[in-house]
Structure 1
């Protein structure tokens, strides 16, 4: 049985993490290797707005080692994502260039919403949709609080609370002064105030994603005279006890307690975040999992490679609709064009020879093709390109988002031209995909020319080189068919023959 080896890298604000896994044809994974390097990428960035040269060099060296490990393992794909520290750094392009030059790895900077989706996927993979959970992931620069259903987030809050960030801003002494502890707690409570009040008291138990929560749970057990490693939950009162103990401890005393040297100076801030969140949301106990964003990143990459459930998660579709609504799009028209685009795609597979990954790109582009009207109806196809290029679309990579933007750009007016800047920057393979998907989107958009949703269905028949499209529609749909015929030029060019439309009343 053929097996594939994949690798993922999570560039956090405190540490970078590698996972290498083997995937069989059924999508089942077995982890081959994991590694971690505490490069403290986020040092200074939350105060200066820039990544330090030293942090960039440390990260580059760690990823160079990771790249060699992945290569030796025979990894066919490596996906690397960066989170809070890099999101906020004005010189993030320098880091991305240096890592690409040193290792050949392209680093993708993901949004807080995408980070939350991947954390959920990593921690809750395979959970039934009826299951409900509250997750907390405390990073170096941000903390994600997620209310989940199944393996997908229902609500997610990315707060600018991180152990590195808060330590840099508030901690000057060892041990902390009472004033520093008070200011730190005030900052935490102010940030947690952004969380939906309906979550207060809803969950008695919270899942902590590895890292900080695991370290705090280990300290709680040591202080209680228990084995440091256990699957038993930790009560809020125990977390509170750890915080009070750390408040008066020195670095030397924390080492004696077993706190990792790489986490020694930031453990108080991390514990304060955990205690503050539990107190605010009235959570009674914490359960720690070893899984997190890195595992979600691997699960997502496996789905991309195997095509399983690709981009079909509820959170991905909801994310598209949410962005459309923020741009004031006409939802009924968007849904109509999407349904027609996907129907045309499914019926012309023999012609375009594209797969489910490309179908997902068409789905997104069809739903959001008109968002540029939010800026101005005039040249709105170009405004759509700009908005989608810079959009936060959970579930899609930067490159996929660029393709979505380009497909939407060509839903009207000019067909793709090599002289167009946005088309020129694509690879030859990507240009083929954009042309074929834009051709289908143009016709689907034409079939709802009046935004009246008159067309019920389309039926495609290949007659030699001619493509005949029966349009099942309400009486008086001549405008829609005329518009579709006028926009069929690109599909005719791709098909190498005429496109003919016929109205069937229904």
Structure 2
């Protein structure tokens, strides 16, 4: 009888959580959050730090940051770096540093980011409004989903910052509108200083300027009785902590608009020293508190909200969630981008059936040609959006519609796409017909080599997809790409006659041949 020896199994060791940190360089402070990301994607915040800076006052007034402010910011980052080492975070891959409105608007922002890199080795990423909206959504979406009243409703999510007011309209998890408005507490204070307004007239002056922006907001976001307003930001959290005795500081908390208005009236009557003594605020908080709370109050009143929900979520929460998914665009986020693009297309009365079919064919070509183009998931989204919007310029002018498409897309907002990504989408639409990419063309010549190659690759794929739907009948939906004798063969199963599409393919495949070195043959299914 033969016995079989039992090999003892080695128990699997638990995977340790990954320590990470995010640093947010804002208009009035530099804040850091240290957290750990668990294997299941859960993010647990370990520590938060804040240091005041005065970047916004300089950037908004003279559009430059002083040497003193740059050195102050660099010193804070160096201090934060020492704290990171205490937490065992020594690799810059586990740290993300972003700068928002103040640094973005400074003409010498490169001097700022370069100095930070020289002192700390950290790369400061200056993010635009679209990236702020995307990160905000990443942070706020879990909060909305967890609340029964907000999960399936229509929420106006707003933050009155030092430089801008960010607004997202979300319904059932879908972003209906996103916009950044040049309304901020520091900007309002600068207007007061420039106008030398008497103390007795300060309130009326602030209300007048806030109301101008609110009129635009109301036009963009139509009032609706089903709306619910969600407010986040340091100033509204400060007010909530003093008005809501039972708030745990974490969950969504309803705050009556009338109570907020009363507290705002009280704060606006006080000077900064009194606010510091009475409410325990820092001097930075005391300076911006009144104008910011007035902005929140008037926003709630403009949308006829008897109360608003105060949320503890901030930009750093969104950054941490973004790091937890590896900075990749989730399927849910991709859908948000596509919905926003469809909304833009509908405003220009595009041929939606044709656009959708070209977009789907582009996706299939992108997927089957991965060994050739070697691009990632984000590029597929950019191609998909460009395919949806490639004819958006037809409403303006038929003959030069490709050029008008570039202009419209570059000057529009598509939720989740940065200005750089919008330019790439616009260039793909510009090159869906006629001339091939040239260095002298608007926008294209300013791209770096890597981005130019990406645009050329994606534009060549887009032209193939357009040829496949040349009849606009949608009859070609499935394709099979093969490589035969150094050429790309696109087989169309289930379609016996593709003679019209073959003519279009011969006209459209030249760019693909030049970029990938492969001619294209379109063949009917057998």
TM-score calculated relative to the size of structure 2? 0.77
Question: How far does the alpha carbon of each residue in 1:271-312 deviate from its partner, in whole angstroms, 9 at most, with x for none?
Answer: 222222233333233443221222223323443545532741
**CA drift at 1:386:** 6.4
Give the direction of change, closer, same or farther, for the CA distance of 1:237–1:438 in structure 2 (3 Å limit). Answer: closer
Q: Distance in 1 between matches of 2:488 and 2:414?
A: 34
SS at match of 1:312: helix
Q: Distance in 2 between matches of 1:7 and 1:236?
A: 35
Mapping of residues 241-256 of structure 1, within 5 Å:
241-256=262-277
Match of 1:120 in 2: 137
Pick one of 482, 485, 488 that aligns with 2:509: 488
Q: Distance in 2 between matches of 1:173 and 1:493?
A: 60
**CA drift at 1:20:** 4.3
**CA drift at 1:467:** 3.8
Matched, 1:339 2:360: yes
Give the direction of change, closer, same or farther, for the CA distance of 1:287–1:73 in structure 2 (3 Å limit). Answer: farther
Q: Distance in 2 between matches of 1:445 and 1:372?
A: 16
Mapping of residues 157-306 of structure 1, within 5 Å:
157-170=179-192, 177-196=199-218, 198-199=222-223, 201-203=225-227, 206-220=229-243, 226=245, 233-257=254-278, 258-305=280-327
TM-score calculated relative to the size of structure 1? 0.80
Match of 1:23 in 2: 37
**CA drift at 1:340:** 0.9
**CA drift at 1:43:** 0.4
Q: Distance in 1 between matches of 2:124 and 2:449?
A: 16
SS at match of 2:524: strand
Q: Distance in 1 between matches of 2:213 and 2:399?
A: 41
Q: Distance in 2 between matches of 1:67 and 1:412?
A: 51
**CA drift at 1:168:** 2.1
Mapping of residues 328-367 of structure 1, within 5 Å:
330-367=351-388
Give the direction of change, closer, same or farther, for the CA distance of 1:174–1:383 in structure 2 (3 Å limit). Answer: closer
**CA drift at 1:454:** 4.8
Q: Distance in 1 between matches of 2:193 and 2:438?
A: 56
Cα RMSD after superposing both structures: 4.1
Matched, 1:394 2:404: no
Are the equivalent residues in 2 in contact too, given 1:136–1:145 (CA < 8 A)?
A: yes
Pick one of 119, 122, 125 that aligns with 1:107: 125
**CA drift at 1:213:** 0.3
Are the equivalent residues in 1 in contact too, given 2:322–2:328 (CA < 8 A)?
A: no
Are the equivalent residues in 2 in contact too, given 1:369–1:409 (CA < 8 A)?
A: yes
Give the direction of change, closer, same or farther, for the CA distance of 1:423–1:78 in structure 2 (3 Å limit). Answer: farther
Question: How far does the alpha carbon of each residue in 1:434-467 deviate from its partner, in whole angstroms, 9 at most, with x for none?
Answer: 4543332221122234555453432334557554
Give the direction of change, closer, same or farther, for the CA distance of 1:65–1:339 in structure 2 (3 Å limit). Answer: farther
**CA drift at 1:155:** 3.4
Give the direction of change, closer, same or farther, for the CA distance of 1:500–1:57 in structure 2 (3 Å limit). Answer: same
**Unmatched tracts of structure 2, length 5 or more:** 1-14, 146-150
Question: How far does the alpha carbon of each residue in 1:119-165 deviate from its partner, in whole angstroms, 9 at most, with x for none?
Answer: 23312227446244332312112223433224443234533332212
**CA drift at 1:211:** 0.3
